[in-house]
Amino acid sequence: MRIISGLLKGKTINFLRNSNTRPLKDSVKENIFNILRHSNLISVKIEKANVLDVYSGIGSFGLECISRGAKKVTFVEQDIKAEKILRKNIDKLQVTNKSEIIYNKVENFLNVSKKEKYNIFFLDPPFIDKKFVQILNLLKNKKIFKKKHIIIIHREKKTKDELNSILDTIITKKYGRSKLIFGLFN
């Protein structure tokens, strides 16, 4: 795995493949950033953004954000093996000053009083996880989003998640097994 663009372009990152995590494919990641940069429907820019990478795994998405100029990325991961590799990747790329790692369940992280607000939310839960809709609702209810924000969800293309009461979906794209949903809290 590698960083696709920006200051860290071409740098490799360590990854983990087990039944709990799966790396975000470079092609899917590249499509996410193309949509963020070129869609007229999205007003958030990566440069100077405050990013919340939920179910972050080894940090592929968040590290790409840092490489492309994000102000800060908060990584939330509960799998100990993935979290250890995430820490190694952050150290290896020397981006500790732009990173915060929360080793915990997402709901525990959200139940702590948060004052920080985010522009970009990335959720990449395990494909079999249905609880993420509750997490998404909790994110909305905590009001930790800035006026200009975007929520990006990576799911298996066959999933039929009910998101209409939480999000206004603005873009849905399918790539191989993956489905990307871009939306705003309604």
What are the Cα distances from residue 94, in Å, to 63, 90, 99, 148, 158? Answer: 11, 6, 10, 29, 38
Phi, psi of 28 (to 5 degrees): -70, -45
Query: What's the pLDDT at 19?
Result: 53
Query: What's the pLDDT at 25?
Result: 83
Residues 6+ away with beta carbon under 8 Å from 160: none
Query: What's the pLDDT at 131?
Result: 85
Is 58:89 a contact under the CB 8 Å cutoff? Answer: yes
Which one has a higher pLDDT value, 20 or 60? 60
Taking the domains of the chain in order of start, what are their residue ranges?
26-185
Residue 21 pLDDT class (50, 70, 90 cuts)? low
pLDDT at 29 over 70: yes
Q: Which residue has the tokens 């494909």?
A: 127
Query: What's the pLDDT at 93?
Result: 97
Report d(CA 79, CA 96) in Å as an integer: 20
* pTM as predicted: 0.93
Residue-wise pLDDT for 111-165, tens only, equals: 886 789 999 999 999 877 778 899 999 999 999 999 999 999 999 888 888 899 9
- Please check whether the domain covering 26-185 is classified as CATH 3.90.226.10: no
Query: What's the pLDDT at 18?
Result: 61
As to burial, measured by CB atoms within 10 angstroms (0-12 exposed, 13-18 middle, 19+ buried), residue 138 is: middle
Residue 66 pLDDT class (50, 70, 90 cuts)? very high
